[in-house]
Every structure is written in structure tokens, then in C-alpha cells.
Amino acid sequence: MPLTKTNGTITPSPHLPFGDQQTAPWYGKDILSVSQFSRSDLTYIFEVAHEMREMVARIGAFDLLKGKILANLFYEPSTRTSSSFTAAMERLGGSVIPINEVRYSSVSKGESLPDTVRTLECYADVIVLRHPEVGASALAAKYARKPIINAGDGIGEHPTQALLDLFTIFEELGTVDGLTVTMLGDLKYGRTVHSLARLLSLYDVKINYVAPPIVAMPREIIAEIDRKGIPQAEFTTLDRPLPETDVLYVTRIQKERFSDPDEYESVKGSYVITPATLQAAKQDMIVMHPLPRVGEISMDVDDDPRAAYFRQMEYGLFVRMALLAMVLGKA
Amino acid sequence: MPLTKTNGTITPSPHLPFGDQQTAPWYGKDILSVSQFSRSDLTYIFEVAHEMREMVARIGAFDLLKGKILANLFYEPSTRTSSSFTAAMERLGGSVIPINEVRYSSVSKGESLPDTVRTLECYADVIVLRHPEVGASALAAKYARKPIINAGDGIGEHPTQALLDLFTIFEELGTVDGLTVTMLGDLKYGRTVHSLARLLSLYDVKINYVAPPIVAMPREIIAEIDRKGIPQAEFTTLDRPLPETDVLYVTRIQKERFSDPDEYESVKGSYVITPATLQAAKQDMIVMHPLPRVGEISMDVDDDPRAAYFRQMEYGLFVRMALLAMVLGKA
Amino acid sequence: MPLTKTNGTITPSPHLPFGDQQTAPWYGKDILSVSQFSRSDLTYIFEVAHEMREMVARIGAFDLLKGKILANLFYEPSTRTSSSFTAAMERLGGSVIPINEVRYSSVSKGESLPDTVRTLECYADVIVLRHPEVGASALAAKYARKPIINAGDGIGEHPTQALLDLFTIFEELGTVDGLTVTMLGDLKYGRTVHSLARLLSLYDVKINYVAPPIVAMPREIIAEIDRKGIPQAEFTTLDRPLPETDVLYVTRIQKERFSDPDEYESVKGSYVITPATLQAAKQDMIVMHPLPRVGEISMDVDDDPRAAYFRQMEYGLFVRMALLAMVLGKA
């Protein structure tokens, strides 16, 4: 038995999965925040995602990540995001370790996130992490040798959602420059619209915000976008900005955000999209929504070709395929 | 970046997964109810399932569905059915997105079943759905572009169970025509026996029902079967129909069905199968059970070659492999 | 339709998966207890595990178990063990049926473990079982035709943990003979240290036990090891045995084991490993821990090359890959 003393890690280099193209530009990197992306980064990600789209349309799946393993570590449930990453890995020929039971597991026995991540990277090549606490992904990435992809950490970041939102606009409308994007609904608590606004500020866009004052876009984000020279405008109803809108991004207004239930009842109807709403909209605009929806877009809108929210889910698959391939050195 | 405006779904045709034989007869179809099958449909399904059986016996697994993804969407737990579909997909080289946590997920946040299904079909090629409400599968199929396979919707249908029951009879006894099938136990609430009786009525069979009156086979089902010209007979004990029985289908009688606990205690012993029971049975009959059992068949019966209930599970695997291959255009 | 009467199990031989090398020495065997292994068995297992390590380091994954299915049946949660077996199967090209929801499933409806196992073996080629009750794995193995691997049954056995512990020593230090192994912490309730001590007694070692008297190594185990002629010594603090120690195996002391909280507080500090502790240790010793840890090894130790506990997780992957390949006739 040729056992030799090694006394060292088997894959000691930081972020060095087995047998990959270490020259690939995103090889071994973490995906933690939208703030890490330059405009040219986004161009590259979307090129790869577009290739993924074409490959899926043509052959469904392929073996680019065959033999690779994704640890899908969800400290809080998210069927949609979890399923999307699972499908992305499987369509690339890779495998998944699903870890959805964290609340019952050793983690809840008091194990720290760094220890959990360092254990899982012994088994997997990349870790997707969903966690209720802000900064969890950065903490995990600090300790992990393998790439961490942030799938949402509390009210913090959810970068792959923002990327898929932007990719949807690119694929649907062919460009981002020159567009008017109108965000509607709860703009205060939704990390989705915050991240998207930040990514959009890398382009030549105009952004409209439509919300009840109680859930308006936070001042600091408006200030941040303003420093990039992006024109922004605020409204409490959709009628004025709608005709110029190229992308209408709808989010849900949660009743619990209002201290006065009557106030909620008085405004909620103004933020529901129906076929009547869309009569005043451009013929080639698109309606987006991060889903799940609970009434803020009428099901009667679903058959309108401008309703892009289910296609948006499909674009999410392609973006996550691209990111997995990139950080594993295969794109 | 060759981004072009598409503004349309990527796979717009109804039920049109990637790159499949669109001429295959079951391609893209839903499996919702036993009532959708003609006798020639059953013949075809069982031919494919028999091929699956021979392939598994010879080589274990093969790559017929490589690159295909099954979303295994279970709104209520069912280890047996869920595992069977997972194994069926994996033995055909495909992958699975397991979704067992629905009660904690976006669905429980109020998302509608149509929205959940339209999201999952963005990731997967086929959806298996288990749901507590009658009609859930038909609702899902109405909205989905990809095939839906009903894995049980409340007290409604569980068509793959009925198909595997009938396939078991075919494989074990070589035919269905000419057989006497005796159903025993709770015949009122068991969707399993209702569906099986309906499928059997497509053949030249005789059906016996053995049950306490309080859980007898419903009148409307007996009437329905009668209109097909199938001879039926009812009993409260097994002793008279047993000697002529070719297939004894046992189900569990739940204590909770009886308003008077004494009544339950007085009858339950008559519905337990033991080696002594089988002394009066034919040597080439078979004993079936949908499982799980809790005492209604003694473990002492398990070694009797007539005990077919574990083989029944294996036939279930082959039937589900057949259905997945068929609706994905590969059979 | 060439349906023929078979009336028999499809794979009737005990432990006879599809198309395997039935001459492989471990083919079809169960892995239930450390007591089943001779020293030459361990040599063989570790040779295979070492090959797995080299293969993973070189190519990450390979298709040795392609087409094979593992049913990962966990009656109690264990993210670490479950993920390790999942990764082991996936790195060998096989598939996994994850069954973590047992408490909600048919099992909790009253199905017996033998019935559950006999159902799952209709779908899978090998079953990994975690169960809260002592003896569950042996019971499962008695009824199953396919191999059972015990992944922990209550306070009983957890043989793959003991194997990975011993394999870690082999790989890190090149040998076991001649070493001094010091076990620290809760030695009374930890099945890990009991199993490891038993395996070590097959080699020429010295074992030290360091524990508060209330959680000392049980007398019967010390007597059992003594009958093998292994020198053993007991201590309540680490300072005396540490300098001669080659392997320091740390376990957690749970507060709940102490009837007097003050007693716990008075001793717990003596059982925490810090960089200061290791100043008195050999330069080529290793620190092991089964994980999760909750404070008993300071995170400041993690960067010390002697800290082997995360590498230990990786060795666990290789041991489980070896066992799966062996019992499936592929090693």
C-alpha cells in the first residue's frame, strides 16, 4: 500500500477545483454582489448566457460541467432560486447536492457558517448559498477555497436575480442603452429593484419610480444613481410615465408595510396591472416581475406578448448556467 | 455581442421540449386520469414498460433521457411515489429537480399552481405533480406547455398507480382477460381500487368486492362498471370468493372510518391475510397491495411466491420509466 | 405483446444488482459495524480509498458507477454524512434518491423498516441508512437483497465515520503502527471514539484518554481494548500525554451531560484546543475532530498545518466512494 505522508490539503490553492482551465477569466471567482461587475463584465456574462440559451434551444443539455458538483446550500427556502440553480447545473451535465434542511441539521446544532462551507467544499466544486443574514455570502467566501455564488443574503444582495433581470431586457429588447425603465410597487424593501437600479446605472437609461410614498425608493439609492448622471423621476401613479416606458418592472406591495390598513386598501388598486393598464403602453415594451406574484399582475395579462415574466424565469436559467460555467473555468 | 430582439417565448409551441421526436404518438401528452386510456393505449404502455423491464434486468440503466430534467413537484409527501419517479428518470439517464418543501416555499406565500408550474417548466422538460386537491393536475396541465404527469391529486386520480397495478397483473399472470380479481378491505375511500376497477373494465374480467358494509365499493362505481357488462359480486368475507380468485388486491381498513370502535375491532381480523388464508387460494394466484401495509398482510406471507406486492413496486418503476420516455418523445 | 408468465422476482438472488462483477470480494456485502473488518479488510478498503483520492485529485469525477442508484435514506437529519454519500455517488457517476423527509412519509404512517427497505431496493442498487435506533441497519440488512451501508444507528455504530478517521491517520501520517493516539473530550457518549478505539486495537498503537471523570471512556471498552494487548492510559488533563501524541482526536463535551452546571464550567476550559495548547505538541502530529465543533477547537488553530479536521472530511468522501464501489462490485 503506497501510503505516503502528505500532511497537507489535497487541493491547497485558493479556489482551485480539479483540472480546470485556470486561465479562464472568471475561474475560481465568487459571485457576491452586483457592485463587483463592470459594464464589460456584464457584456461577457450575457454573451455566455446567450450562448447557453442557444445551446439549450438547440440540444437541451450538454456535458460542459460533467463530473462537477454543486452544493446548493439553502438556509431558508426558495423553491424558485433553488430549482433554477439545480436545473442550470443539470443542463450542463453536472450534479447537485441539495441541502434544504439546514434548520434541522448540524448547522442548527451551532456549527458556524465558515465550518459548514469548509466542509461542503470537501465534497463539491462550487457552493450556492442562500442565507437570511446580510453579509453571509461574503463571510462564506472569505473562508472557502471554492467559489461561492450568493443566492440571496437577507435584505442584502441577490446578484443573480439582478443579472437575470438585466439579461431579460437585453434579450427581449436587444439593448439597454436608450431605454426608459419604470419600477412599480414596493421600492423600499425590495432588494430586487435596488440591485437592478444599480446595474442599470452602468448604461444610458432613464429610470422612473412609481410607488406609494410609504414604500418609495430609498433616498440613498436615488442619490447613488444620480451621481452616475442617470435621469430619474418619481411618481405615485403609473399613468404619466407609462407611455414612455420600455420596461415596466412590477413588484408586490405587502400589506404589512402599511401601519394603516385603510391606506393600503386605498392605494393597492393603483398598482395592479391589467389589460386595461397596458392599453396606454408601447406595443414593444415588456412587463417584468421577479415572481411570485399575488395579484399585482392580473392573469389576463399573461397572454399579452409584452408579458415577459415567465420568459424572465427562463433567462434566469441561462444566466445561472453561464455563471456556473464561468467560475468553474469552463467559459 | 449579437443580441437580437426576440420578444417571444423561446419554446413557444405547446408541449414542445427540446429536440425530440415530435412524431412519437405520446409526445408532449399529459398523464392525468385512467379515463384517458383505451385498451390499445394500455397495450402500448405495457409493451414499452416491458421493454424497460428487460433493459433494466440486462443493463440496469441507459441514456434514453440523458439531458432531460424532471421537476418532481410534491405538495404533500409521498416517499414511495416520489422515489419511484426519481429512480425512473435516473435509470433513463435523466436528472431530477426534487421539490418536496412546497409548504415552506413561494407557493405557500400565495403563488398559484398555474404560476408555479409555468415557472418550473422554464427549468424542466416534464413535471410530475402530487397535490392534495382534486383536479390540481388538470389545472396544471391547462397552463403548462410541458407534459404534466399526475402523481395523485387528493381523493381524485393516481393514474400511474392504477397502471402499475394492471401491469403487475399482465407481467405476473400473462393476461388480464379471463381473470377473477378480488378486492379486499377499504373499497370506499381507496382511490387505488376505484381506478383499478375502471381499468379492469376494459378487459374480460370478473370482479369481487370484499369489505365491511361501512366501507363498501361506492354504488356509482359499481354501476359504471356494470354498464361495461363486467360481472361483479359483493361479499363481506373472503372465504367464498377466494378459491376462484386469480388476483387478490388487499387494501388497508383505517380504524378512523368506523364511528364505533367496537365494530372496527369485530371486523378487522376478517381482513388480515395470513399463510392460513392462502391455503384455500389457487397456487398460481397473486396477492397485491399498494403499500404501505400496516398489518393487513402478515409478514409470514412475504416468502410465499404468490406474494407479489414488492414485485409490484418494481413494476411501478418500469411503468413510470415508460411514461416518462413516452411523453418526452423517446418511445 | 410477448408477455410471459414469470411469477417470480426479477432479481431473485440475494444482493444481486444488475450486471456486476460478482467475483469482486465485497460485492453485495453490507457495511454494518466496525467489528466486521479484519486488518487486511482495512488495508484493502484504504487502498481503494487512496485510489479514489488520486483519481479525484487528477480528474475530479469518473463514471465507475454510471447507471447505479443510491437510496440515501435518512430517518434523522445529518447534512454532513448525507452530503458526503451524495457527493461520493455523484463523483463516481452514479445517481442518488434523496430521502430526508422520512418523518412525514409513509414510514411515519406506520410502515415497518423492512417494508421501506424492500420497497426502496426495487428502485435503487444500494441503500445508505441513517436511523435513530440501535440495530436498525442490521434489521434492514436482514430483509434487503441489495447492500445496506450503515450511516449511523443511534448510539450504536457509525462505521464509515470510524473508517474515515482511520484512513485520515493513514494518509496523513503514512502508518498507524507505532503511533500514540490521544482522545479528548466526551469519551462516554461519543460512538465515534468507541468505534475508532476498536479499529485502532487492530494495530500496534498506544491510546490515551483525556476526559472529565463524568464522561470517561466506558470500562467495558477499555477492557475490550486491553484484551488485545493495547497499552492505554487515562488522564483528566491534556498536558501530560500531549508531547508524545501523534494523533489528537478531539470531541465536544456537551453541557447537558453534567448534572451540576458549575462542574461543567470548571472543566470546559481544559478541553479547548488553542494555538497555545499546540506549542507543546509534536510538529508532525495531527488534530482531528468528527465535526461539527462548537468552540472546543479555536478557529485560530485552523491555519496550523497540524489541523487535519477539514482534510478529514475530504478523506471521508474517498472512503465512501471506495465502499460504494466495493459493494456494487466495481472495486
Q: What is the mean pLDDT of residues C89-114?
A: 80
What is the reported pLDDT for C294?
86
Please indicate whether, in this complex, the C-beta atoms of A310 and B125 are within 8 angstroms of each other.
Answer: no
Whether residue C4 is predicted with pLDDT greater than 90 in this model: the reply is no
Using alpha carbons, list the distances in angstroms from residue B287 to A6, B26, B203, B277: 59, 32, 20, 11
Return the C-alpha cell found at C300. 485560530
Residue A7: what pLDDT?
39
Residues on chain A bordering chain C, Cβ-to-Cβ distance under 8 angstroms: 1-11, 17-19, 66-69, 71, 95, 97-99, 101-102, 104-107, 109-112, 114-116, 118-120, 122-125
What's the pLDDT score for residue A219?
A: 97
Backbone angles phi, psi at A112, to 5 degrees: -80, 155
How many contacts does B have with C, using Cβ atoms within 8 A? 118
How far C172 CA lies from chain A's nearest CA (Å)? 5
Average pLDDT over residues B67-89: 95
Using an 8 Å CB-CB cutoff, list chain C residues near B256: none
With cell 454573451, the residue in question is A47
The closest of A75, A65, A71, A105 to A85, measured between CA atoms, is A71
Q: How many Cα atoms occupy the beta-carbon half-sphere of C19 within 13 Å?
A: 13
Identity of the residue in A8, A18, A101 whose CB atom sits nearest the CB atom of C60: A18
Picking from B6, B7, B128 by the largest number of A CB atoms within 10 A of its own CB, the best residue to mutate is: B7
Instruction: Please list, residue by residue across C66-83, b when 16 or more beta carbons sit within 10 angstroms of its beta carbon and e when fewer do.
Output: ebbbbbbbbbebbbbbbb
A100 vs A171, more confident? A171
Three-class SS state of B322: helix
Give chain C as a 3 state SS string.
Answer: CCCCCCCCCCCCCCCCCCCCCCCCCCCCCCECCHHHCCHHHHHHHHHHHHHHHHHHHHHCCCCCCCCCEEEEEECCCCHHHHHHHHHHHHHCCCEEEEECCHHHCHHHHCCCHHHHHHHHCCCCCEEEEEECCCCHHHHHHHHCCCCEEEEEECCCCCHHHHHHHHHHHHHHHCCCCCCEEEEECCCCCCHHHHHHHHHHCCCCCEEEEECCHHHCCCHHHHHHHHHCCCCEEEECCCCCCHHHCCEEEECCCCHHHCCCHHHHHHHHHHHCECHHHHCCCCCCCEEECCCCCCCCECHHHCCCCCECHHHHHHHHHHHHHHHHHHHCCCC
Inter-chain residue contact A106 with C56, CB threshold 8 Å: no
Chain A to chain C, count of Cβ pairs less than 8 Å apart?
A: 120
The answer to whether the predicted template modeling score (pTM) of the entire model surpasses 0.90 is yes
pLDDT 10s digits, C105-157:
445 567 899 999 999 999 999 999 999 999 999 999 999 999 999 999 988 88
Phi-psi region of B22 (alpha: psi -120 to 50; beta: other; left: phi over 0): alpha
pLDDT in tens, A192-248: 999 999 999 999 999 999 999 999 999 999 999 999 999 999 999 999 999 999 999
Long-range contacts from B34-39, C-beta under 8 angstroms, 24+ separation: B34/B157, B34/B159, B34/B162, B34/B163, B34/B195, B34/B198, B34/B199, B35/B198, B36/B159, B37/B159, B37/B163, B37/B199, B37/B202, B38/B202, B39/B202, B39/B203
Judging contacts by C-beta atoms under 8 Å, the chain C residues touching residue A6 are 171-172
Q: Which residues of B touch C68 (CB under 8 A)?
A: 60-61
Question: E-assigned strands of A165-266?
Answer: 180-184, 206-210, 232-235, 247-250
What number is the ipTM of this complex? 0.91
Disruptive mutation site among C119, C128, C146 for chain B (greatest number of B CBs within 10 Å): C119
On the question of pLDDT at C18 being above 50, the answer is no
Q: Categorize the per-residue pLDDT at A154 as very low, low, confident or very high, splitting at 50, 70 and 90.
A: confident
Q: How many CB atoms lie within 10 A of CB B157?
A: 27
Closest in B60, B171, B317 to C6, CB measured:
B171
